[in-house]
Structure 1
Amino acid sequence: MAKRKKQKKKSGKSGVWMKTRFSPEQRTSYRQGLGIVMLILSIFLLLSFGSSIHQFANDHSVVTSSNPDFSEVENLMGGVGAKLSHYFIEMRFGIGGAFALALAIGLVGLNFVRDSIVVSYFKIFKELLFFMTFSMVTSGVCRGHLMEISYPIDGRISASLFGQSGLFTYLIGFGGVIGLSVIITLAYVAHCLGLNVIKLIDGFFSLRWLPSLKKKEEADEEEVTFAETAFERDGINLSGEGQAVDGSSRETVDSKDTTLAVGGNIQDDTKTENPEKNPTTKEVEDNTSFEIVQKEKEEVKSSSSTPAAKKPSGDEYDPRKDLSKYAFPTVDLLADHGSGDVRVDEGELVKKKEQIVETLRDYKIEIESIRATVGPTVTLYEIVPTKGVRISKIKNLEDDIALSLAALGIRIIAPIPGKGTIGIEVPNAHKEVVSMRSVVASELFKNSNAALPVGLGKNIAGEYVVADLAKMPHLLMAGATGQGKSVGINALLVSLLYKLHPSELKFVLVDPKKVELSLFNSIKHHYLAVLPGEEEPIITDVKKVVSTVNALCLEMDNRYDLLKKGRARNIKEYNAKFKKRQLNPENGHRFLPYIVLVIDEFADLIMTAGKEVETPIARLAQLARAIGIHLILATQRPSVNIITGIIKANFPARVSFKVTSKVDSRTILDAGGADQLIGRGDLLFSMGSEMVRIQCAFVDTPEVDEICRFIGDQQGYGEIFQLPEFKDKNEGGDKGSLSSDDMDPLLEEAARIVVGNQSGSTSMLQRRLKLGYNRAGRIMDQLEELGIVGPNMGSKPREVMYSSEQELEQYLLHRKQ
């Protein structure tokens, strides 16, 4: 495990007074004001000391006179600058020590202004002490023994110790000027190389008489310690299967049965102390330990991501043979939208940590430690409360914490599943764009063994997330307008285009808006499937959508018949037997590609088609998993009349972008939280009982166009992949196709009454035939189906299609015959 600093109680009364007297914002303002003053003082001293080097002769006589006239001073900073230069350089520390002191004041001021530890205070003190001592020794020896210099580079302290009549003159006589110069040079080189002299001496002689200095050295070494994130340690594998783990910077590779794989730098417990990683533990003003974890930038290589297909043996069938020269898209077709380097100011993290602690303490909630995991969009603060604190008490403070941080999208996870901590997700001030290029180029995606791998983006820990659509097996997406839903669909489709050959995958695309998926029209001879006789592969008409989903049901039934004949349980086993030529094509067997049905704006279909489209979609969702047909449904209205219980029951995998209300969040995810997302690709991915927050990969429209053109310009199949033909029983039938078994016994009598009165009214049938409203309404519907009356016209009577009873009798006689 990584080192942790021991907590130290601060007993200083001034610090306690500051905490109780002033709020964290006021303390920060006071520190920053003091830091600005120190920076100005540092710059003033540096300019004064630098100017005194050139104007020493004149300024020295003025400053040392009994009645100085500062108007004659030539120092750049005037009389005050000349006086300070005379005091610090000539009277005290010499030129080197004075400059070191001015720089030290500036570094302390910089820490105060940034409200963070840019350079540790102990390191500033240590370096100041060394350079002041080194400069005084060097200048004293040089001016007193080696050369004659009029400018007082050594200062009075150095001259009294190391000058011609200094106390250490006997060292010169003992070792000579050259020997002492060599010792000084070696000391300077050792310091520059960072050699710990105290540790070396202690290792040889086991000295125990420098405990205070050793403690400071250890504190300096432990100021930045290293730890692993829980995501790096556990890997977040929602399927529960193992993952390949490498102790170096290699990413996680999903195993055979992994549904959701998360890639990251996963370290072994025995190798956690690595000085090149970023997690840091800081002890700030209070007693709460604070740890910061940041993901390192990963290099994106521009090499092709063409999957290395397993070459079949000589006797095996190769489905890729028809398009053997097909080239997969390259990573260069995708743009790099983000730097990939997630960096958040440590001062900002410490400030938010203090605000969280202060808010909880206002409600008498004490915590033991906080761990900040920096992600591309949000930072997760994991807090460990003291014993006896109720989780519900912290959960109820969600709005108060959001108010104190002045941030939108605060989400509290109480508790984090599998951990003894409570998570608070706070949006970053500067959000990173996760480009699709980085996801496709990642080792996790390229080495994925999933049947249908889809790159979702990055999680809170900055690790890539790749899911298997075949294991989901269907995906339900929801999100308000403009929150990234269409970009998410494009990211899923692009992921599949980068991994699967046209012979292994077909898309059925339904786009009621007619513009979102039109770019994929150019790959119709490679990846798209259509109904027989249709020329337009992208389905936009609602009537054709009903025929298409019913055709997919026929395809599903045909495939199940093939699996039954081939004695296989799923598409994977069936295709494996077909490749080994264990199934005869003359008996109807064929290689089965995966089919992915994508429906954008599912709510529009439900509103216009209703049960006609809902029933076959529910049937596909229930049965189509084993034969390789998978569904992706997207809607911006996740209400209960759109996403019904039948749909939800068969879509265990769900993605929710930002929605407008808590009710919509519970409808899509069965939990709250989607209404607290911050938009622009921020999503929650739910798979079973696990829910992960992800920043969706961004792929722009020109990139999708480039990829589709790259594929479309290559040789494709001569004919587009065709689905089975579906014939609607309600289409193409003759007028009066109602069967005699379905006809009401009073139908003919009702027809004569309607034609005789030339008025088609349900209430009239009720009165004349003494019927209830329901039966009279059914008779009227049957009369409409037979073509005797026209369609319903609201409150007006229906139009009668026969002008006389004689015409009606001829029609009824003809129907009986």
Structure 2
Amino acid sequence: MSTKSKSKSKKPTARISTKKPTAGTWKVEKEEKIQLKALAKDERTWKIAGVTFLVVSIFLIISFLSYFFTWKQDFTQLSRGSEILWNSDVKVENLLGKLGGLSAQYFIYRLFGVAAVLICTFFFVIGVNLMWRRKVFSVWRNLKYVTLGMLVVSAILAYLLHDEEFRYGGGVGNVIAHWLVASLGKIGAGAVLALIVIGYFIWQFNPVFSFPKKLKRPVLPADEAAADETMPGEQPVIAVVENATPVDTGTGGAKLVMDTAAEKPKYDIRLINKEPEVHAMEEEEGHERITVLKPTAKRPEPVIETEPEKDAAQELAIPSKIVSKDKPVLDDNLKLEINSGPITPAQPAAPAAEKKKTYEPALNLRSYKKPTTDLLETHGSEKVIQDQNELENNKNQIIQTLRNYDIEIQRISATVGPTVTLYEIVPAAGVRISKIKNLEDDIALSLSALGIRIIAPIPGRGTIGIEVPNARKSIVSMKTLLASDEFTKSTYSLPIALGKRIDNKNFIVDLATMPHLLMAGATGQGKSVGINAILVSLLYSKHPSQLKFVLVDPKKVELSVYSQIVNHFLARLPNEEDAIITDTKKVINTLNALCIEMDTRYDLLKDAGCRNIKEYNAKFTERRLNPEKGHQFMPFIVLVVDEFADLIMTAGKEVEMPIARLAQLARAVGIHLIIATQRPSVNIITGIIKANFPARIAFKVSSKIDSRTILDAGGADQLIGKGDMLISLNGELSRLQCAFVDTPEVDKVVDFIAYQEGYPEPFLLPEYIDEKDLEAGGDFDLDDRDSLFEDAAKLIVANQIGSTSLLQRRMKLGYNRAGRLMDQLEQAGIVGPNQGSKAREVLIKTEAELQQHLDMLG
């Protein structure tokens, strides 16, 4: 019976829990928690909350502004409190009605006065952050400034306007102001409030307080002072004493104590702060040498007084610079020219005249101004995000993975970069480096991350590096690099800002010392952005007279934005309209023209007796070279090829050979190459090209073979993309995050330059005439026309293909005759010029036009 009763009692319970659960069961509570959690995570909830806070901020600002104009009319009604909300007979003048008036009355009259307006910004900041679901503004920083601002501003307004009818400082401001006045008096309270304002100003803006330096003229004896006043145009006398120690005399002069073993005569030297025009005379006195610099004009001898010996306790040594051989000891405010040999007399007007003779190439565009960093944007936060939990978890995973393979480490450290964190480990004694290197995939698996790269060992560090991508990556803005001291104060000939290292140091190098750059990377990995970063860096650092670009863009869209600055920075062939080169035939002519320019520059260097462009330009600016003999100022020329693989496929050796010549020889004459390609295969980047491009950049590539082709090392296939790159420079391989410069930013920079006055015409390269074009040139001679000329013309027009091989196949001709026919068709204007391996363009489209054209030819 008991068994039956138990079974019966269980059945109703099961029936109730499955079909009709009560509100108190565990299952129902669990379902409610899941729903609330999902509701809190729903994106729509965040947006609704954000809109709510924004509406509250707008509501408050409108009610506050309306209260400033209607407080007199509404004050009596609003003083009754919240009961007026339910009384329909009460009317208020506030734009937002009773609720708006009560809110304004509470915040302004009772609390913070006019400063209550600041609280609207707090609701606005929360609303924006919730709407976009990210930290657009800092909530805690805003709350801090709003709280302090309301307290300080309300107290100041209450202190200054305490007699006004309107309560400008509110209730809180009045309490603070009355307490300060009661405690410190009116003057003390005002001083405290002023101190708060001044302290905030200093903390926020950090102004520089400095007094102008006042140069004191030393007192001279009466006879010297009189002599100095009567001869204002003469120069002072400076005496230099070797092996001397400066001692304070208390008379405004400088006393030098001789450091010799014998008697120590002391010399009191008084200087007048003028720039001397002097020559040197040396006098030997025993073991001591005194160099006296005498003026070229006649004037009284310097006053050198000897004083009796004093006790050492009475001599007060003063700090001074160390006196070196043949260098005068002067006041810090005096300007000195230190010469290695005797100072020769010079006429006063000589330096100015010599400066006028110096050639300034920038004077041709004297009104030109370099772009400002205001044209660029700061993308996101420049601060590197350090997630302690992420760093700790990655550290534990690395240690655990290595321990699974019986590898112990002695120390581990982390360096957080913009996109990658470098973990440096020191293995225990006896651990082979190759064993850790082989665990690259295992560590990547344990960290659940792509782009793990192991550097074993790190050169010069004695550690093994493991590069792990960050979960939250930072964007490196071009604006930050160009505004840094490393770039603005660099002395490089062609400074380029590429990006930031893992240790967050700016990576700024000199293209002139690289001297050529080879770039490779798959589509969409940042190669074009890298080219724009290099070009923008050079535009920000150089004057149009110092730099010219030759831009080759087979894709026709990547570099077209720079076409507006053709009269400022671009170079082109004579009789060409477009400075951005897109046609393969024109690329070949341009490369050969650059080779001619290179040879011409080497001839000029040979005549000038210089080894490189820097020495040559220095001689030319000093007017030591005669322009009538062909000498001229040489600007740097940077050749940029955006897609090299397409040129090799279409032109082959015709492109490879001039590129190889330029890479081998052009460095000394200021011609530098930047070549980019998507396919770093061996048939594109040949051995001749690789041997002359020591600097190479690799963005993310698709295979290890491509990485080894471009870098001669692996690792480029392990990059994470979006500007993550490896650069091989001076035998070192570094990982960088490329600086990001967006296309609208480039447009702004180019427009800023284009709107300024430019040169009348672009920089013209030497004219290059292809031998094939020269052989095919000349007037069309009807008598020498081939008998198959008309048949060949009809065949070409019918097929609309200007191909020599077509004539060979269809008309069963040899190569020489078919080529001669094609040249005659070109001379007759039926087909266009040769385009390398591509077919010629057919200029006549129909047979009727062809017949009319042939009739005109006769």
Identify the TM-score tier after normalising by the shorter chain: 0.5 to 0.7
Secondary structure, counterpart of 2:357 in structure 1: coil
Q: 1:782 aligns with which of 816, 821, 830?
A: 816
Q: Name the structure 2 match of 1:733.
A: 775
Secondary structure, counterpart of 2:775 in structure 1: coil
Matches within 5 A, 1:384-783: 384-734=426-776, 780-783=814-817
Amino acid at match of 1:440: L
Matches within 5 A, 1:241-260: none
1: CA distance, partners of 2:773 / 2:475: 50
Query: Does the CA contact (< 8 Å) of 1:379 and 1:426 recur in 2?
Result: yes
**Within the alignment, does 1:318 sit opposite 2:360 as a pair?**
yes
1: CA distance, partners of 2:390 / 2:730: 35
Offset, 1:789: 12
Secondary structure, counterpart of 1:626 in structure 2: helix
**Can you list the C-alpha shifts for 1:663-704, whole angstroms capped at 9, x where unaligned?**
000000000000000000000010132010000000000000
1: CA distance, partners of 2:403 / 2:553: 53
1: CA distance, partners of 2:728 / 2:776: 50
**Can you list the C-alpha shifts for 1:180-201, whole angstroms capped at 9, x where unaligned?**
xxxxxxxxxxxxxxxxxxxxxx
Secondary structure, counterpart of 1:717 in structure 2: coil
Count of matched residue positions in the alignment of Structure 1 and Structure 2: 452
Q: Name the structure 1 match of 2:402.
A: 360
Offset, 1:535: 1.3
**Can you list the C-alpha shifts for 1:630-667, whole angstroms capped at 9, x where unaligned?**
00000000000000000000000000000000000000
Offset, 1:734: 4.0
| Structure 1 pair 717–369 and aligned structure 2 pair: CA distance change class (3 A) | same
Q: Name the structure 1 match of 2:425.
A: 383
Secondary structure, counterpart of 2:549 in structure 1: strand
Amino acid at match of 1:687: L
Offset, 1:420: 1.1
Query: Does the CA contact (< 8 Å) of 1:312 and 1:318 recur in 2?
Result: no
Secondary structure, counterpart of 1:381 in structure 2: strand
1: CA distance, partners of 2:572 / 2:618: 26
**Within the alignment, does 1:341 sit opposite 2:383 as a pair?**
yes
2: CA distance, partners of 1:688 / 1:470: 13
| Structure 1 pair 567–417 and aligned structure 2 pair: CA distance change class (3 A) | same
Offset, 1:419: 1.6
Matches within 5 A, 1:113-124: none
Secondary structure, counterpart of 1:731 in structure 2: helix
1: CA distance, partners of 2:537 / 2:593: 26
Secondary structure, counterpart of 2:398 in structure 1: helix
Query: Does the CA contact (< 8 Å) of 1:508 and 1:596 recur in 2?
Result: yes
Offset, 1:338: 2.9
Query: Does the CA contact (< 8 Å) of 2:384 and 2:417 recur in 1?
Result: yes
Query: Does the CA contact (< 8 Å) of 1:736 and 1:785 recur in 2?
Result: no
Offset, 1:511: 0.6
Query: Does the CA contact (< 8 Å) of 1:685 and 1:691 recur in 2?
Result: yes
Secondary structure, counterpart of 2:669 in structure 1: coil
| Structure 1 pair 718–382 and aligned structure 2 pair: CA distance change class (3 A) | same
2: CA distance, partners of 1:790 / 1:454: 50
| Structure 1 pair 526–581 and aligned structure 2 pair: CA distance change class (3 A) | same
Offset, 1:782: 3.5
Offset, 1:315: 1.7
Let me know the Cα RMSD of the aligned residues: 2.9
Secondary structure, counterpart of 1:506 in structure 2: strand
| Structure 1 pair 736–709 and aligned structure 2 pair: CA distance change class (3 A) | closer
Amino acid at match of 2:657: T
1: CA distance, partners of 2:814 / 2:683: 29
1: CA distance, partners of 2:818 / 2:354: 61
| Structure 1 pair 734–596 and aligned structure 2 pair: CA distance change class (3 A) | closer
Q: Post-superposition, which runs of at least 4 consecutive aligned residues in structure 1 deviate over 2 A?
A: 732-737, 779-791
TM-score (norm 2): 0.51
Secondary structure, counterpart of 2:773 in structure 1: coil
Offset, 1:786: 4.2
Query: Does the CA contact (< 8 Å) of 2:605 and 2:616 recur in 1?
Result: yes
Offset, 1:312: 9.2
Offset, 1:347: 1.5
Amino acid at match of 2:638: V
Query: Does the CA contact (< 8 Å) of 1:784 and 1:790 recur in 2?
Result: no
Matches within 5 A, 1:123-162: none
Matches within 5 A, 1:200-211: none
Q: Name the structure 2 match of 1:217.
A: none
2: CA distance, partners of 1:440 / 1:583: 35
Q: 1:374 aligns with which of 398, 407, 416?
A: 416
2: CA distance, partners of 1:389 / 1:733: 70
1: CA distance, partners of 2:454 / 2:426: 13
2: CA distance, partners of 1:320 / 1:484: 34
Secondary structure, counterpart of 2:529 in structure 1: helix
1: CA distance, partners of 2:436 / 2:691: 32
Pair member with larger Rg = 2
2: CA distance, partners of 1:544 / 1:654: 26
2: CA distance, partners of 1:561 / 1:532: 22
Query: Does the CA contact (< 8 Å) of 1:735 and 1:785 recur in 2?
Result: no
Query: Does the CA contact (< 8 Å) of 2:518 and 2:674 recur in 1?
Result: yes
TM-score (norm 1): 0.53
Offset, 1:780: 4.0
Query: Does the CA contact (< 8 Å) of 1:783 and 1:789 recur in 2?
Result: no
Unpaired stretches in structure 2, ≥5 consecutive residues = 1-352, 780-785, 793-812, 826-858
2: CA distance, partners of 1:477 / 1:526: 26
Unpaired stretches in structure 1, ≥5 consecutive residues = 1-310, 738-750, 759-778, 792-817
Amino acid at match of 1:316: T
Matches within 5 A, 1:43-62: none
1: CA distance, partners of 2:824 / 2:691: 41
Query: Does the CA contact (< 8 Å) of 2:719 and 2:725 recur in 1?
Result: yes
Offset, 1:732: 4.3
Offset, 1:783: 3.9
Question: Whose relative contact order is higher, 1 or 2, with alpha carbons under 8 Å and at least 6 apart?
Answer: 1
Query: Does the CA contact (< 8 Å) of 2:776 and 2:823 recur in 1?
Result: no
Offset, 1:788: 10
2: CA distance, partners of 1:696 / 1:456: 6
2: CA distance, partners of 1:399 / 1:475: 31
2: CA distance, partners of 1:579 / 1:644: 40
1: CA distance, partners of 2:821 / 2:729: 52
